[in-house]
Every structure is written in C-alpha cells, then in structure tokens.
C-alpha cells in the first residue's frame, strides 16, 4: 500500500499541472472528489520549487471555472426544473431555490464568489444566475473572482506548510510518512462523504 501511494505521489509530482486542471474541473461539477486535498498537496509541491505556485493557482482556478460552466449551461437549458429535482434527490428544504434567488438578488455577482466555497449552494447559485437574466459578463467576473480566491486559499495553505513538510521528509524515515499522511487525508475525506450521505438517507 505504501509503495502504491508513493507511486501515486510521484505521478502527481510529474504531471501536477494536468492533474490539478482535471481534478478542479471534476470537483467543480459537484462530483465528490478530493479537490481541496489535492490543491493543498499542489501547494506543498510548489514549495519545493518543482512547480510554480502562481501557475498552480491559475490552473486550479481555470479548472473550477470550466467545471462550474456545466451547471451554468444546465441552468440555461432547463433552469428551475432541474434544480427542483436536485432539491428532492439531495433532501434539501423546499425553499432551496428561493434561498439561491435571494442570495443572487442581494449580492449579485458577489453571490457567486460566496457560493464557491459551498458545493451545493454553488451549484444552485450558478444555475440560477444562468436563468435569472444576469448578463454573462457579470457572471463570468464573479466566477473568475471566486475561483481565484478559492484556488489561492488552498494552494497557499499547502505552500505555507510546504517548508515544514519538506523538512520532515528530509529526516530519517520521513519519506515513509508522506504516504501515511496522504492515506490519512483520503480516509478523513471518505468518512466525511459517507457521513453526509448517511445524513441524507
């Protein structure tokens, strides 16, 4: 298991830009995916100088923007009918659409920035923005701003911890702790997803 995790980390280090783009795009669609965990790992990798921290932030933000457009296009296509169905299958309250509308009315494009940090809210606000008559350029400005703030937060968090991580790896036996740490993070994420699904059941 340790060898597998080390191989995965080596693959990630070699193809970090492509992996981050794909992961953030998938994560933005609402699919349960460890996007934040990998962004933190990408920041730690950037701290070693192997990749550019600025490039990581821009690529992660770009992936988030691409993925969010899936729900924007859905909002254009079917709008409230699709969202009402999502409310039912996710066991959200009956007023979930009204809350998304209220957030858009109150904050306009800034609502998209706020919603970027909350998966379900982001989906609803993005789709509602598409069907609310908001000009596309306003949506895109909010989308880009939110994606940049979101990506910067998690990449820089990993970048800040990178010095400590690389010092740890330099200690005798330190390299063997990295797969354990990654496995622990994956385990915590899995438990969180299972817990959320259990609450909805």
CB 35 within 8 A of CB 24: yes
Per-residue pLDDT of the chain (201 residues; tens, 9 = 90+): 556 666 777 788 888 999 999 999 999 988 877 788 888 888 888 887 888 999 999 999 999 999 999 888 888 876 666 666 666 655 555 566 677 777 788 888 898 998 898 877 788 888 888 877 788 999 999 999 999 999 999 999 888 877 665 655 554 444 445 555 555 555 555 555 444 544 444
Classify residue 92 as left (phi > 0), alpha (psi -120 to 50) or beta: beta
Rounded Cα–Cα distance for residues 151 and 146 (Å): 9
In the prediction, which pLDDT does 45 show? 85
H-state helical runs in the chain: 2-14, 16-28, 35-47, 53-77, 80-89, 96-107, 110-115, 119-131, 136-169, 177-200
In the prediction, which pLDDT does 187 show? 53
H-state helical runs in 78-118: 80-89, 96-107, 110-115
In the prediction, which pLDDT does 56 show? 95
Each domain of the chain, given as residue ranges in start order, spans 2-78+135-200
CB 33 within 8 A of CB 20: no
């Amino acid at each position: 298991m340790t060898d597998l995790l080390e191989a995965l980390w080596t693959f990630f280090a070699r193809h970090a830009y492509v992996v981050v783009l794909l992961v953030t795009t998938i994560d933005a669609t609402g699919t349960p995916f460890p996007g934040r965990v990998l962004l933190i790992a990408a920041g730690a990798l950037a701290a070693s100088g192997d990749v550019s921290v600025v490039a990581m932030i821009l690529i992660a933000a770009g992936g988030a923007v691409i993925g969010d457009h899936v729900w924007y296009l859905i909002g254009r296509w079917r709008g409230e009918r699709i969202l009402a169905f999502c409310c039912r299958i996710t066991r959200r309250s009956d007023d979930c659409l009204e809350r998304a509308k209220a957030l858009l009315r109150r904050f306009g494009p800034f609502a998209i920035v706020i919603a970027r940090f909350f998966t379900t809210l982001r989906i609803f606000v993005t789709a509602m923005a598409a069907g609310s008559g908001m000009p596309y350029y306003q949506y895109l400005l909010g989308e880009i701003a939110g994606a940049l703030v979101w990506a910067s937060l998690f990449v820089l968090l990993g970048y800040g911890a990178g010095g400590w991580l690389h010092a740890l790896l330099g200690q005798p036996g330190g390299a063997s702790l990295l797969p354990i740490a990654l496995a622990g993070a994956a385990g915590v994420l899995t438990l969180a997803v299972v817990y959320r699904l259990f609450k909805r059941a």
